Amino acid sequence: MNIILLGPPGAGKGTQARFLCDERNMIQLSTGDMLREAKDSGTEMGKIVADVMARGELVTDEIVIGLIREKLKGDKKGGFIFDGFPRTLAQADALAELLEQEGETLDAVIEMQVDDNALVARITARSTCGSCGEVYNDNTKPIPADGKCSNCGGTEFKRRADDNEESLKQRLMEYYKKTSPLIGYYYAKGQLSSVDGLGEMSAVKADIAKVLA
Ligand code: AMP
């Protein structure tokens, strides 16, 4: 089963993708994570995308489609979860083509609906474990008092450089201008399901499970 998690930054796509990986042996393909890795390891491509990402703008379709193309050739396990990809109509068309070439289908597109005020609150409070990527939130899921990640025991926590109000505004603008048209695109294709992304993590997880049942 291959699925897309669609929604604005902070909607909870990464958190839900991790649940699906654990429980269904799926593979999370987060273009944001791939780009951050490239940036942190200082590759040529990483250098090109660093400023664009810091400003909260989208990197070129060509770069992200290339990243996804490579991953689709690898182990497919229980299927792919596309997290933060596609973000433009051109990326969506490219994904359809790439899946077809691999003899794969797109089984669901799940839109995670969250209002903008909640997004700002979530994003400015978020941090992740530097070792395993577990997501924390200062208000709703604080880092444990002993300073150790509840998932892996790691003791280093990171805040994303682009999780600040200024670049968030730009990321939201990009979402509404370039990514939200995908909601209509997948609706018209009969592939769209929507869940309320504002609920408790476990409630959102249950709603996603219903869509995939
Ligand atoms: P994310 O972790 O999904 O919020 O992505 C972080 C940043 O990486 C975005 O603000 C963009 O600059 C870039 N990015 C991630 N995925 C894509 C994509 N599919 N298309 C273009 N840019 C992307």
pLDDT tens across the length of the chain (213 residues): 999 999 999 999 999 999 999 999 999 999 999 999 999 999 999 999 999 999 999 999 999 999 999 999 988 999 999 999 999 999 999 999 999 999 999 999 999 999 888 888 888 899 999 999 898 999 889 999 999 999 999 999 999 888 888 888 899 999 999 999 999 999 999 999 999 999 889 999 999 999 999
- Helix H or strand E segment including 155: none
Q: Are 14 and 30 in contact (CB under 8 A)?
A: yes
Q: Which of 73, 126, 177, 189 is catalytic?
A: 126
Q: Which pLDDT score is estimated for 213?
A: 93
Burial of residue 213 (number of CB atoms within 10 Å: 0-12, 13-18, 19+):
exposed
Q: Which pLDDT score is estimated for 190?
A: 96
Closest residue by CA, ligand 1 atom 10: 56
Specify whether 36 is catalytic. Answer: no
Closest residue by CA, ligand 1 atom 2: 32
Q: Give the torsion sign (CA, 51, 183, 73, 62).
A: negative
Specify whether 13 is catalytic. Answer: yes
Specify whether 171 is catalytic. Answer: yes
Specify whether 55 is catalytic. Answer: no
Which atom of ligand 1 has the smallest separation from the CA of 83?
3
Which atom of ligand 1 has the smallest separation from the CA of 60?
21
Q: Which of 36, 39, 87, 205 is catalytic?
A: 87
Q: Which pLDDT score is estimated for 74?
A: 85
Q: Which pLDDT score is estimated for 193?
A: 98
What CA–CA distance (Å, rounded) separates 9 from 163? Answer: 9
Q: Are 109 and 82 in contact (CB under 8 A)?
A: no
What CA–CA distance (Å, rounded) separates 153 from 131? Answer: 9
Q: Which pLDDT score is estimated for 120?
A: 86
- Long-range contacts of 134-141, Cβ-Cβ distance < 8 Å, separation of 24 or more: 134/18, 135/14, 135/15, 135/18
Ligand 1 pocket, Cβ-based, cut-off 6 angstroms: 9, 31-32, 35, 52-53, 56-59, 64, 84-85, 87, 91, 162, 171
Which atom of ligand 1 has the smallest separation from the CA of 86?
19
Ligand 1 mean position, distance from CA 49 (Å): 10
Which atom of ligand 1 has the smallest separation from the CA of 13?
3
